[in-house]
Amino acid sequence: MTAIDISGVTKRYGTELALDGLDLTVESGEIYGFLGPNGAGKSTTINLVLDFIRPTRGDVRVFDLDVRSDSLEIRNRTGILPEGATLYDRLTGRQHVEFAIESKAADDDPDELLERVGIADAAGKKAGGYSKGMAQRLMLATALVGEPDLLILDEPSTGLDPNGAREMREIIREENARGATIFFSSHVLGQVEAVCDRVGILRDGHLIAEDTIDGLRNSMPTQTRLRVTLDRIPDDSATALEAIESIDGVSSVEPEGRTLVVACEDRAKTTVLRRIEDHGVSVEDFETDDSSLEDLFVAYTSNSAGSAGVIQ
Ligand SMILES: Nc1ncnc2c1ncn2[C@@H]1O[C@H](COP(=O)(O)OP(=O)(O)OP(=O)(O)O)[C@@H](O)[C@H]1O
């Protein structure tokens, strides 16, 4: 079954075009990472799925139900961690969870949920005194109420330290293992890498790529960062830098003393080394490191990425 089906959705805020004919499908049981730089339209998409806002054009369905006419049933089956926690300062953590349990007519044990998200010790403390990370953990506890079929997490790692982000990923995996579909947005590729079955990358209201992380990586030319240490700085260093930069497949060259850091496609490596030696210096040492996922994400979301990869 399809968990989320967004079809031909355009959303305008006045003259601002936030989504432009978006098509996106998340299958039941998937962990789907929804990536995009700031302002790409991620929160708009989530708000449409939750029927908090209406599309200008197009259809949104969740579990084959219409988000507008069946919104109550959808909300009962969905757990939401919205961007930016909205807590009631005077209520305790436990009272927040109790409220969510009552609203969903669920029968969870609030203390068990608070234990699961790592804030059992603060259960009786007023949320006004919670740190950002504690607030985020509390919001996660309320999202987990009633074993939802769909978990929508908007930037779930906001405010969490690395340990908290790891615990969040563990909970995502556990929820998925019990059968929940997970849809989570992030602007940090590394956060979705470890848990997602598939990722979609949104830019300017369009889905510009959609694949597994490996699929995305394979669709890009292998980028390498080459660190070349020279015996000395060449006399004509400006000309040498220009000559290296002009090699086909080289995207940048940064001098760091006697070391040059060259970002290039794998195929350009030997030409780079040869061109350096053409300028009368010797290569003392060099090392390479393959592109990180962050480089990949930047390549997809920067302005020149229009034709890269699995573009729709
Ligand atoms: N209520 C609104 N009124 C006017 N414009 C809006 C509104 N909400 C969003 N926008 C605009 O729509 C576009 C998409 O915004 P959205 O918040 O969906 O992006 P996002 O991908 O969630 O960004 P971020 O990662 O910064 O949260 C942006 O250009 C934003 O300025």
| Per-residue pLDDT tens over the stretch 231-274 | 999 888 899 999 999 999 898 899 999 999 998 888 898 899 99
Confidence tier at 292 by pLDDT (50, 70, 90)? low
The string of pLDDT tens digits covering residues 117-167 is: 999 999 999 999 999 899 999 999 999 999 999 999 998 888 888 888 888
Both 173 and 155 in one domain: the answer is yes
Task: Count CB-CB contacts under 10 A for residue 149.
Answer: 19
Residue to probe by mutation, ligand 1, list 13, 56, 202, 203, most atoms within 8 Å of CB: 13
249 found inside a domain: yes
Both 141 and 233 in one domain: the answer is no
**Helices assigned H by DSSP within the chain:** 42-49, 71-76, 93-103, 110-116, 132-144, 162-177, 189-193, 213-219, 237-245, 269-277, 293-301
309 found inside a domain: no
45 C-alpha to ligand 1 centroid (Å)? 10
Kindly give the number of the ligand 1 atom that is closest to the alpha carbon of 45. Answer: 18
Task: State which residues form the domain around 53.
Answer: 2-212
Both 50 and 155 in one domain: the answer is yes
Closest alpha carbon to 17 in 25, 7, 9, 29 = 9
Both 164 and 262 in one domain: the answer is no
The string of pLDDT tens digits covering residues 298-310 is: 767 765 444 343 3
244 found inside a domain: yes
182 C-alpha to ligand 1 centroid (Å)? 22
DSSP, collapsed to helix, strand or coil, labels residue 304 as helix
245 found inside a domain: yes
pTM of the predicted structure, to 2 decimals: 0.77
Identify the residue whose C-alpha is closest to ligand 1 atom 17. Answer: 43
Kindly give the number of the ligand 1 atom that is closest to the alpha carbon of 41. Answer: 18
Confidence tier at 83 by pLDDT (50, 70, 90)? confident
**pLDDT (0 to 100) of residue 186:** 86
Q: What is the ipTM of this complex?
A: 0.96
- Which CATH number belongs to the domain containing residue 167 in this structure? 3.40.50.300
73 C-alpha to ligand 1 centroid (Å)? 27
Both 193 and 244 in one domain: the answer is no
**pLDDT (0 to 100) of residue 16:** 93
Rounded CA gap, 130 and 296, in Å?
A: 36
Both 43 and 135 in one domain: the answer is yes
Ligand 1 environment, Cβ below 6 A: 13, 16, 18, 36, 38-44, 187
Both 85 and 231 in one domain: the answer is no
Residue to probe by mutation, ligand 1, list 6, 16, 81, most atoms within 8 Å of CB: 16
The strand pairing partners of 258, in sequence order, are: none
The strand pairing partners of 287, in sequence order, are: 227
86 C-alpha to ligand 1 centroid (Å)? 18
